[in-house]
Amino acid sequence: MTVRRLCAIAWRLSWTANSVWVPSFLLVSSAPRPVGGGLLGNKRMQTILTVIGTQPPPLPYTPLPVSESVLLFGAGLIATAFGYFLTREVKSMDKRIDRIENTIDLTKSDLSDIPLRYVSRDDYLRTVTALEDRLDRLEQKLDDKLDRILGLIAREG
């Protein structure tokens, strides 16, 4: 393989792995940098890049072990599901609160009509007592007039 071919391979690998390729003459230090996982973590690729005189670009982060990645993915999935169900529950509670508020408003409007439609117990008892007194007086008057009529009939008879 020619140097030109090795540079092309290095260019493609570094470009696809990190979307950036930096030749060694643009770097401040020409000392080889440690490389993370992936294609650039391959020892053979590091040797090829060292022979060409280029350095692989550093990875922007250190890759996590698979177990941690799976745990973090699971935690994110659980948090997403929790957020979805919490949002759904809050919406249903909002609808329920709206229905309760409408019921309260209707009840308040019904309660405002109560003095016009109904009588309190005390007012009812006072009215009934007044009517009974009036009926008692009328009964007394009728008894008096009946006694006078019977008295007149007894005198004539």
pLDDT, averaged per 10 consecutive residues of the chain (157 residues), comes to: 62 49 43 48 60 59 78 91 94 96 90 79 93 96 93 85
What pLDDT sits at residue 130? 96
Residues 145, 130: one domain?
yes
pLDDT at 21: 46
Measured from the Cβ of residue 98, the count of other Cβ atoms closer than 10 Å reads: 10
- Res 31: pLDDT: 45
What pLDDT score was predicted for residue 61?
65
Please indicate, yes or no, if residue 61 is contained in any of the structural domains: no
pLDDT at position 6 is 63
Q: Residue 67 domain-assigned?
A: no
Is 60 inside any structural domain? no
Q: How many domains does the chain divide into? A: 3
38 and 7 together in one domain: yes
Range of the domain at 146: 119-156
Q: Are residues 129 and 107 in the same domain?
A: no
22, with CB counted inside 10 A (0-12, 13-18, 19+), is middle
User: Is 42 found in the same domain as 11?
Assistant: yes
